[in-house]
Amino acid sequence: MKTIRSIARPHTASFRLVCAFTLWVIGLMAVPASAGVVTLMVVDQHGQEIPGSQINVLSQTVNTGDSLLLPEGTQHFLVLPGLRSAPSTTTELYRTEAYEVTGATTEIVFEWITSTYTVRITDQHGVDIPVSRYATTGPSTYINAGDLVTLPITDESVYPTLNGGYRDGYFVSLFPGLRGAPSTSTELYRYAEGPFELSAEPAEFVFEWITSSYTVRLTDQHGVDIPASTFYATGMSPTTLNVGDSVTLPITDESVYPKMAGFYKDGYYTVVAPGLNGNPGSGTFLGRLEYNLELGTAPAQFTFEWTQHQCPLEIRDAANAPVPGSNLVLPPYLPGFAPGQSVTIPVNDVATYPLIGGYYASSNYGYWITVTPGDIAPTSDTIYLTLSAAGEFTPSSFSIGGNAYSLALACDDGCEPLAVASLTAPAAPLALGTAATVTAHFAADNGFGRICSFAWGDGTLDPGLDASATTVAASHIYASPGVYRVTVTAENACGDVDIAVHEFVVIYDPEGGFVTGGGWITSPAGAYAANPALTGKANFGFVAKYQQGANVPTGNTEFQFKAGNLNFKSTSYDWLVVAGAKAKFKGSGKINGVGDYAFQLTATDGQANDGGGTDKFRIKITSKSGGGVIYDNQPGDSDTADANTALGGGSIVVHKP
């Protein structure tokens, strides 16, 4: 027996027995009035109530908050280890002992045992990860790599009568992203994947992080891919990269795990700064990689090694004899240059690295070399050289005498202005489903290559067509009839850009509908080029359709503007496009019975679906000889614009097939 006093110690749980003077009956046994009524409350070491506890006292089951009567004198009662349900706070098992109850207020203290476990959080390469978060069913806790965390566990050597109590373990929340069940030595599982079991044996908890793949693209200052370099990263072997290659880096994706606190938060950003920028390594042309990334305790190392290409510069004397000497690699400033010496200047070899060309393409950048005869006081002259990718370099004026010379070396990338000489594209209308092929023609390639993109006018873009030849071609099949503008954009490694436009590729549907119309509009000011001030009523009538099996439409179009004495009548059609409520056709005709003019008519059936409720009309008549506009009731609008002049009378009908 032992009498328990009120004590305070860490990591304890207690029963508080509070007496009251009320009659209580246990089973069928009458209890003397002198016996006290005791209220049982089970708490953990933090003073928090423990729900669902079962204490066997005098063969009776008592739960938290129940009252029980203990007679005066010594009583034995058994506390079975093990809270059967998951606790709301961190609570553990208690000893089984007999106690003496005196009838007064008595605090019975049950001790528990805890073991200390080391929690180490690493990435998949075994590198410690700082500032990660885990939480038990109690308060959340922030831990760092290598921190010690005390977890209350059951020591089965001390509590052999465990019988399953707390074998369900603790529920632990881990952020972010532990992957599945870790190694066999780890007994910590991901949140919401079930509890874990704690044994009496020490364990190292290794948190394994889910990683996402990120692509590193190496580019120069123009955004052009850079070829062949060496890349290193933590946990990886050196990898050789070529143009277009990619490398996947382990990283935590914050979009997937938004609760992450800083680890890899900003991801990988790579910027290549071409040129001797900073302190490059020896034997390198491209100096360093500038980057902004967070990599925890061991940042990855990015190293880009470049072959040093040499352009020999030979200095000759007044008799055109080479000045003897040895080749030197120029530092940013060469302190002196003796007669007879020559130098080797590290520059970009455009034949090997065409995609980095363009850097150093500045006449005010380069190395200054001082040539000193040594026996005469130096003076200052300047010799200008043209520096290219290979070959010898001859100054515009040069002599070796009693003077000192400064050589201003300007690197020239060899880029020439880029221009799309012409475009070849379909001139005749194409039936729906036929491929349209557009070819861009260039002058001879200068060794840099180029990138062409084709925008087809229907929202489709064919990007990144590399070419070093004099022509670049692409084809496209349109999904619907229409009149489309094709834009070709070309760019070389120097950043030169040229844009060429073809107007238009016409796609018609020979099985589609046809269009008829008749009525009048009010001709606006500016429509009649010969007298822009004229306005008034203008009459029209037209029909345009494809006969079965034909690839050229037939019909007739007339347009009269009496105020300008203009009477136009069609003689032939070139093409017809019908799409929904809109129709557009092109052809030739005469004005007042003479000449040869081109025209294009655009019409909208306001009563058709998506027609807008109002019939609209436009006609544009141009001279074939000079291309000048004769008449256009929408002056300044592009040829692809919809009709926007409402009819004053009459109607337009787009007939469905």
**How is residue 494 annotated by DSSP?**
T
Residues 6+ apart with CB under 8 A from 194: none
In single-letter form, the type of residue at position 151 comes to L
If one compares 609 and 495, the residue with the highest pLDDT of the two is: 609
If one compares 423 and 594, the residue with the highest pLDDT of the two is: 594
Q: For the whole model, what pTM was predicted?
A: 0.37
CB-count burial class (<10 Å; 0-12, 13-18, 19+) for 375: exposed
As a whole number of angstroms, the distance between CA 378 and CA 144 comes to 66
Q: Locate 441 and state its tokens.
A: 């023609």
**For residues 145-151, average pLDDT:** 49
Per-residue model confidence as pLDDT tens digits over 220-233: 434 444 444 444 33
Residues 6+ apart with CB under 8 A from 652: 515, 516, 517, 519, 603, 604, 605, 606, 615, 616, 617
Residue 445 pLDDT exceeds 50: yes
Per-residue model confidence as pLDDT tens digits over 546-583: 888 788 899 999 999 999 999 999 999 999 999 889 99
The pLDDT, as a whole number, for residue 147 is 52
Helices and strands per DSSP (H, E), number in the chain:
0, 44
Residue 586 pLDDT exceeds 60: yes
Q: Could you tell me which of 533, 460, 448, 437 has the C-alpha nearest to residue 493?
A: 448
Question: What are the sequence ranges of the domains in the chain?
Answer: 12-111, 309-414, 420-508, 514-655
CATH architecture of 420-508: Sandwich (2.60)
Q: How many CA atoms lie within 13 A of 291 on its CB side?
A: 21
Percent of the chain with pLDDT over 90: 18
If one compares 292 and 532, the residue with the highest pLDDT of the two is: 532
As a whole number of angstroms, the distance between CA 447 and CA 377 comes to 45
Pairing of strands 566-579, 594-604: unpaired
Per-residue model confidence as pLDDT tens digits over 310-343: 333 444 444 544 444 333 333 333 333 333 444 4
**404 and 380 in contact (C-beta within 8 Å)?**
yes
As a whole number of angstroms, the distance between CA 220 and CA 603 comes to 51
Per-residue model confidence as pLDDT tens digits over 373-413: 333 333 333 333 333 333 333 333 333 333 333 343 333 34
SS3 564: helix
Residue 539 pLDDT exceeds 50: yes
Q: Could you tell me which of 501, 522, 517, 503 has the C-alpha nearest to residue 601?
A: 517
Least confident of 377-381, 426-430, 474-478: 377-381
Q: Locate 368 and state its tokens.
A: 């200054």
Q: Could you tell me which of 616, 613, 590 has the C-alpha nearest to residue 601?
A: 616
**How is residue 246 annotated by DSSP?**
-
Q: Residue length, the chain? A: 657
In single-letter form, the type of residue at position 194 comes to G
Bridge partners, 352 (sequence order): none
Least confident of 20-34, 203-217, 421-435, 502-516: 20-34
Q: Could you tell me which of 623, 544, 628 has the C-alpha nearest to residue 591?
A: 623
Phi and psi for 589 in degrees, rounded to 5?
-175, -175
